[in-house]
Amino acid sequence: MTAKYPQTADDNFLITLAQRGDSSAYDALCARYKAFICKIARSYFIAEGGDTNDLIQEGTIGFCKAVADYRAEKNNSFPAYAALCIHNRIKDALRSALRAGSSGVPALSITDDAGEERIANAIGYADDPVTSYIRGENNEAFFRKAEKALSARQYAVLRLYLDGFSYAEIAEELALDMKAVDNALSAAKSKLKKLYKADA
């Protein structure tokens, strides 16, 4: 099926049409920003944990809000505004999960110092390499440390995952099965958390 709008169509043009109810324009925007949404959501997953699909879904809801509310004359560039909306939606979801103890995360009191620190880390306030990555900084130091700490397979899986590749795509790219991808990513996450604690 041929896309209604070319890939070169301007964001603002598509946003205006989407705000007028053009579902094809909205679909084109979603397709264009899918990897962008996944990258943000998966960075939170690496930093704190949780269900990746849930985080991507929350990020997509934030993206929908960005499309609906964006005003070129009032806001910064659309990618910057969309990133803000995606981050805020995921942060709200993590706050709710941490307070309620859902998704396997222990319930924490919002007034408890330890709880505040845990929430801060989960929603990207702590200044660690993963948080820098979430904020879009060019942090090659993070990747150099990760490469030293991880096995070659773990590092390759991590890089592809943070670049927005799905488990299936990583498995195909690296000639692995899905279980091996999951195991490598879990091991990488565990090692990186220990690395952050050692550097703290």
13 pLDDT higher than 70: yes
Section 124-143 average pLDDT:
48
The pair of structure tokens assigned to 160 is 């592809």
Query: pLDDT exceeding 90 applies to what percent of the chain?
Result: 21
Q: Residue 114 — left, alpha, or beta (φ > 0 → left; ψ -120 to 50 → alpha)? A: alpha
152 pLDDT higher than 80: yes
Query: pLDDT exceeding 70 applies to what percent of the chain?
Result: 68
The Cα–Cα gap between 129 and 162 comes to: 13
pLDDT, position 194:
73
Q: What is the pLDDT of residues 83-104, one digit of tens each?
A: 889 988 888 887 777 666 544 4
pTM value is 0.57
> 């995921």: which residue's tokens?
90
Q: Which carries the bigger pLDDT value, residue 11 or residue 46?
A: 11
Q: What is the pLDDT of residues 54-63, one digit of tens each?
A: 888 889 999 9
Tell me the pLDDT of the chain averaged across its residues. 74
Q: What is the pLDDT of residues 181-198, one digit of tens each?
A: 888 988 887 887 776 556
111 pLDDT higher than 70: no
Given a contact cutoff of 8 angstroms between Cβ atoms, the answer to whether 155 and 146 are in contact is yes
The Cα–Cα gap between 113 and 111 comes to: 6
Q: How confident is the model at residue 48 (pLDDT cuts 50, 70, 90)?
A: low
Section 156-166 average pLDDT:
80
